[in-house]
A and B are shown apart, each in its own frame.
Chain A
Amino acid sequence: QKEVEQNSGPLSVPEGAIASLNCTYSDRVSQSFFWYRQYSGKSPELIMSIYSNGDKEDGRFTAQLNKASQYVSLLIRDSQPSDSATYLCAVNRENTGNQFYFGTGTSLTVIP
């Protein structure tokens, strides 16, 4: 079983719609959760971090964490063509020397 699993997509949404990206993780001791955006040929950049159950909002982005279900999601409201990228989910575990475990990413295309 992979540490972190994401639907690889591709996911297409019209401009202005809500994009919903999902991620599950296998180890219950995972402590920190991150969403990265990666444009083609570029390195990942942090969008959101979340550490406790519930929702965390930052502008058009909302991260949701449910530790009981081992599930983390990212909602992008009012999607823009500039949001078209691959989104990586990552978790961090102290018991493995603070390694990061990444999903393979979900490709999002926002159609104008």
Chain B
Amino acid sequence: DVKVTQSSRYLVKRTGEKVFLECVQDMDHENMFWYRQDPGLGLRLIYFSYDVKMKEKGDIPEGYSVSREKKERFSLILESASTNQTSMYLCATGTPYTEAFFGQGTRLTVV
């Protein structure tokens, strides 16, 4: 079974902090994605990566950056956390034509 593991299930951070969300997959998938999910807005793509050191902006990249130094790991960075970044963050992986496999999600609260 594909395993996608996010580093934290719940996080509470202060405004202005730099926040790292880590995602690790064990199935050698090329593609990795970061989404945030908010009530009524659905899943919105922040960034995705289709190869090591490659990244593409999604629909809402502002205030975020990503890093993919190894194929299995895709990190989302909030450069300076703000309260409007309080959300559920979901990492997913996939290969062409297959479904997206999701991690368990990280509920981030910025206070």
- On whether the beta carbons of B45 and A99 are closer than 8 Å, the reply is yes
A88 touches B42 (CB 8 A): yes
The docked-state distance in angstroms from the alpha carbon of A99 to that of B49 is 10
Task: Say yes or no for B43: interface residue by CB 8 A criterion.
Answer: yes
Query: B31, A46: Cβ atoms under 8 Å?
Result: no
Please measure, in the bound complex, the distance between the C-alpha atom of A49 and the C-alpha atom of B100, giving whole angstroms: 11
Among the stretches A59-67, A73-81, A100-108, the one at the interface with B is A100-108
A51 touches B48 (CB 8 A): no
Distance in angstroms between the alpha carbons of A43 and B99 in the assembled complex: 14
- Which residue in chain A gives the minimum CB-CB distance to B96? A98
Which residues of chain B come closer than 8 Å to A105, judged between CB atoms? 42
Given A42-B105, A43-B90, A103-B42, check contact A97 B99 (CB 8 Å). no
In the complex, which residue of chain A has the Cβ closest to the Cβ of B90?
Answer: A43
Q: Give the distance to chain B from A2, nearest Cβ to Cβ, in Å.
A: 9
* Contact residues of B between 35 and 77, Cβ < 8 Å to A: 35, 40-43, 45, 48, 50, 56, 58
A31 within 8 A of B: yes
**Chain A 1-58 residues near chain B, CB threshold 8 A:** 8, 31-32, 34, 41-46, 49, 51
Is the pair A92, B43 in contact by a Cβ cutoff of 8 Å?
A: no
Interface residue B104 (Cβ < 8 Å from any Cβ of A): yes
Contacting residue for B99 out of A31, A34, A41, CB 8 A: A34
The verdict on A43 contacting B105 (CB below 8 Å), with A97-B56, A100-B100, A104-B42 known, is yes
Q: Is the CB of A98 within 8 A of B50?
A: yes
With both chains docked as a complex, state the minimum distance between the C-beta of A26 and any C-beta of chain B, in angstroms: 15
* 1/0 contact string of B98-111 vs chain A (CB within 8 Å): 11111111010000
Interface contact A44-B102, CB-CB below 8 Å: yes
Contact A102 B96, beta carbon cutoff 8 Å: no
User: What are the residues of chain A within 8 A of B50 when measuring CB–CB?
Assistant: 97-98
Beta-carbon nearest neighbor of A44 in chain B: B102
Given contacts A94-B96, A99-B33, 12 further A-B contacts (CB under 8 A): A41-B107, A43-B103, A44-B90, A44-B100, A49-B98, A49-B99, A51-B97, A90-B100, A92-B100, A98-B50, A99-B48, A103-B42
